[in-house]
Structures are given as structure tokens and as C-alpha cells.
Amino acid sequence: MKIRVERLSSIAQSIDGDFPGEVVNHRCCRTERLRTIAPLLFLVVVLAGNAFANETSELPSKRWLIVVCGLPGDDGHREKLTTAVRKISAAADPIFQVENARLTVLAGDEQMVSDLQSDIPNAAVCTGESVAAVIDNVSKQIQPQDSCWVILLGHSQFYAGRSSFNVQDRDFDATDLAKWMKPIQCRERLYFLTMPVSGFWLKPLCGPQTVIIAATEAGAEYTATEMPYALADVLSGTQAKQALEDIDQDGQLSILDLYLAVNLEIDARFKSLERLQTEHAQLDDNGDGIGKELQEPYLPVAAVEGETLPPEPVKTRLITVNSDGDYARSILITK
């Protein structure tokens, strides 16, 4: 790159400088030289540009993960959420490919932080201030080719048109989170919002190369969600009815597969309890802030007595280019 730039500089100088043996009709000769050199100059500029683009795209892309757990509310939820945080954090390296130095965990209260101490010694108490500070810290280190993922789990409420996430001191909402995330300059963002009334968070957080997964449909579902525990169990492979596998059958394991697996797990859990499902997750990744229930075609269909089920569709074709799910399908994870 340096060599190419130096050559470029030398050619530019030669256009304005004197050539040995230069004689009369200086302007004419100069024009002729420009005609000769122009294609070469153009080629050099193109090569230099390509070299720079290649060098940028070849920089290693790293993932940053911030796990944010809100107030547990009671001992039962503290125990369940602590286990979920432990399982999700344990999946950071092997599944999400997030190295330990780029994982931050904020837990609901001092008791949770203490309970997580042996597994996550750097965990801190989650408040609006600590979430903003952690994001600010990431914004100062993250590189343009990196990814920033945020997972929220805990309780939230809907009041006066605002869906607020419950944390110590002062609750925060999607507008706060969007404001804190604004300084983050990176290639890709992922929000996994597992809490109730999270459907309202799609619009404020949507954008290019951004995946938003919300546990519920905005304006329709307000009860507690099973998603945080389904996500934790699918990632850990323990107590899950649904395995993390290539559900869309495209030959790769992606964030889309994780989304589908979590929703199959939620479906199975509600069915096993014989309860009407009160949460219908949505995914938006085409930047319009409108989520889709991509899981619908993948949910098991119960056979009606005396009827034959239609053949399974080719599931890789269910999500088309640039539709919701297409970008999430390009974000690969491992297992």
C-alpha cells in the first residue's frame, strides 16, 4: 500500500515536472504525456483503492457482548434469572465466539452479583448508569469491523405509552438504549430482548445491519415471558426440549437458527403446560422496525385424526433476500 502510494506520488510529480530532452511546444507535449499516463494513473488509483478495501475487509472482526439482567423482583425469579445469566454467559465463547475480554455482565442486584461471583467475577450491578457506562466503554474500544450484541433479560412494564426495563435506581427504555448505543461505530448490531413488552423496542433500535429480536408483539402481549429461560436452556443444551441446530436447513448455524430454536422451545414449553401461548416473538433485521414472526412456518403442526399432513416445505426458501431473517441468517455461530 505504502509502495503504491509512493509510486502514485512519483507519477503525479512527473506530470508537472521536466522530462529529459524536453524541447519546443511544451503545452502540446504535456498534453500528449497526460494522454499516455492517464490510463496508467487510473489503474494505479484503482489498485490502491482495492488494496485499501481488501486490507480493511481482512481485519479480524470481533464480537462484543453485553448481558444486561434487570431487577429479579423476588427470590424465585432471582434464582431463575441468575441461572439464565450464567448459562448465556457460558455460551459467549463457544457459541457466540465472544472472547472473555469482550464480555460484560450486569446483574440485577447485589445478591445476584454475589451468586455469580464464582463464574463471572467481573459482573456488576445493573443500573441505568452502569448500562450507559458499559456501552460507553465499549464504544471507545470497538472497531468498525466489529459486532456489538446486547442481551436483555428481566422484568419490564408498560405505562403511559412507555415500555420500561426494571433496574435499580431508574428504569430505562428503548429510547435511552438507542441514545447510549449511538456512539458505537461498528459493522453489526444485535439486540436480543427477552423481556415482556419488548415489541415496543423495535422502532427506536432499528437500523441497517441490525438484528432485533423481541419476545412479544407490541401492543398485544404484556405478561411475563419464557424467552430468557428458553434462550439460556437452548444455548446450554440442558433442560431444553429443542436443540440448537440448523433449523432453516441452509447448511449453516446462524442467529436465525438460534431464534427459531428458542421459539420452538417456547412453543414446546407452553404446550407441555397446556397453556395458551402468551408471547409471540418477532425478528426485524431489514431496518424498517417492523418485526415478523419468522418462526410460524417452523412450528410443529399437530396432525388431525384421519387427515394426512402435507409434505414439509423446503425451509431454506421461506426467507427471501432482504426480507426479515435474511441478515440474521448471515451471522454465523458455532456449537
| Residues at the site binding Ca ion, with contacts judged by CB under 5 A | 246, 248, 250, 252, 254, 257, 284, 286, 288, 290, 324
| Min separation Cβ 262 and Ca ion, Å | 14
| Min separation Cβ 291 and Ca ion, Å | 6
Q: Which three cell numbers stand for residue 299?
A: 412450528
| Min separation Cβ 288 and Ca ion, Å | 4
| Min separation Cβ 184 and Ca ion, Å | 21
| Min separation Cβ 325 and Ca ion, Å | 9
SS3 153: strand
How would DSSP label each residue in 187-223? Answer: SEEEEEE-STTGGGGHHHH--TTEEEEESS-TTT--S
- H-helix or E-strand containing 53? helix 26-57
Q: Which is nearer to Ca ion, 226 or 248 (CB)?
A: 248
Q: Which is nearer to Ca ion, 127 or 210 (CB)?
A: 210
Q: Of the candidates 224, 221, 232, which has an alpha carbon nearest to the alpha carbon of residue 262? A: 232
SS3 252: coil
Q: Which is nearer to Ca ion, 47 or 178 (CB)?
A: 178
Residue nearest to Ca ion (CB): 284
Q: Which is nearer to Ca ion, 192 or 229 (CB)?
A: 192
Q: Which is nearer to Ca ion, 107 or 331 (CB)?
A: 331
Q: Of the candidates 195, 315, 198, 197, which has an alpha carbon nearest to the alpha carbon of residue 256? A: 315
Q: How far is CA 201 from the centre of its chain?
A: 14
